[in-house]
Amino acid sequence: MGGLILLFVIGLWLAFVIWLSIFITKKLPIAWWRIPVGILVSVALLPLPALDEIVGGRQFEKLCEENSTIHVNRATAVGKTVYLAQTSDVEIKGTWVRVVLKPRRFVDATTGETVVSYNRLQAVGGRFLKISEGHVPLTFNGTCEPGDQYTLEKLFKELNITLSRRPENNS
């Protein structure tokens, strides 16, 4: 259903851009450059609804590169029992689309010190293309984290780290 709505909205926008281009070029004096001006107006107007996602996607890619590392001190992490600590999400300011940084901290079950950590980024779709279910971006993948679950499992196995449930009295 969301796909049909998206196609309908794209069709409406395309029709509006063509109409506006014709309307603007008809105001110009009759000359050889009417058609090139109409094409330029169309090309300039077509990406406007997705502009925030286009720019936001580039910003998101840069943030992903900056947050693409799993932090672990291999010397002290060997043989630890850890749990996933509860952390607060951080909204990143200054981006064209809403981006939330979700810290993941695996802490030692006995000392409470961070053993393994990384950040997960989640982006929300742009202001104009809020058609998708779940408000995910339509022009780029809105989730980013270093590696994947397999990489984390492999790291834990390499270092003999045991993942346990978070204790009820710790937060």
Q: Is the pLDDT of residue 27 over 70?
A: yes
> Residue 166: which pLDDT band, with cuts at 50, 70 and 90?
confident
Q: Across all residues in the chain, what is the average pLDDT?
A: 88
Residues 140, 138, 128: CA angle, nearest 5 degrees: 120
Would you give the DSSP letter of residue 135? G
Residue 164 burial (10 A CB sphere; 0-12, 13-18, 19+): exposed
Whole-model pTM: value is 0.78
Q: Is the pLDDT of residue 1 over 70?
A: no
> Residue 32: which pLDDT band, with cuts at 50, 70 and 90?
confident
List the beta bridge partners of residue 105.
85, 117
What's the rounded Cα separation, in Å, for the pair 145 and 6? 28
Average pLDDT on 27-33 reads 82
> Residue 169: which pLDDT band, with cuts at 50, 70 and 90?
low
Q: What pLDDT is stored for residue 83 in this prediction?
A: 96
What's the rounded Cα separation, in Å, for the pair 48 and 112? 49
Average pLDDT on 41-52 reads 90
